[in-house]
Amino acid sequence: MHTNVRTTWSCCTSIDDGFRMAFKGGQVLGFSLVGLALLVLQLLIMAYRAILIPEEYKSERDVTRVVREMFECVAGYGLGGSTVALFGRVGGGIYTKAADVGADLAGKVCEGLEEDSPDNPGTIADNVGDNVGDIAGMGADLFGSLAEATCAALVVSAHSMDLLMTPDAVYFPLLVTSVGIFASFFSTFFATIGAVTKDNIESRLKQQLLISSVLLNIFLIPVVFILPIEANIEFAGVVYESGRW
């Protein structure tokens, strides 16, 4: 909400100032959400490991079944993220559309007012609904996507005996997310190069997607070479070798 007010005020000066303010506010939401999601997921893994895997069995081969069950329990974290995203996105969408339709019917149709006219009180409800759907809903959707993808990768990796015998390799999905935070951080410096106008805002945002993707792949190179890449994954009773089906 504070970012919205500051962005609106900055846009009264120039589009470039408003873009920079909005971009910084998006950085706070993105980095905070991804960082907290990664931290809580790591804490959950450590807690489940301490509860489900006794100390005297941690080095034994028969612990494989318990480790698989542990990561299946961790998958509930992704399910919770999807549930939050569902209510955040759908709830915000209902609020937004109801307020938007009501404001349009009462203001534009009945009174002949313009879109988002300050003379229409329904505009306030419309803007509140936009905040709920586009900010809270978008943040919840981002959290759900991150939790689902990471937990799914952990569950799949837990079905490889080679990965289970190499604990560092099991946490590779968490490393990918961590590297993504650094790649996104460095890519934000390119967003403020040059002035932003209403004609190049779209291209500047697409440029950020391209730069962050390239940086992520570059930063992942040392991580991939440090961790073992040979793994045989068992799925549905069939063992799939690394690089072969």
- Write the pLDDT tens digit of every residue in 167-176: 666 677 888 8
Mean pLDDT of 61-67: 67
Domain ranges of the chain: 32-158, 166-236
- Write the pLDDT tens digit of every residue in 104-154: 777 777 777 777 777 877 777 777 777 777 777 777 778 888 888 888 888
Buried b (16+ CB within 10 A) or exposed e, 81-102: bbebbeebbebbeebbeebbee
Percent of the chain residues topping a pLDDT of 90: 0
Confidence at 69, pLDDT banded by 50, 70, 90:
confident
Give pLDDT, residue 243.
Answer: 45
Q: What is the pTM of this model?
A: 0.71
User: Does 244 score more than 50 pLDDT?
Assistant: no
Q: Which amino acid, one-letter code, is at 79?
A: L
**Structure tokens of 68?**
């698989």
User: In whole numbers, what is the pLDDT of the chain averaged over residues?
Assistant: 76
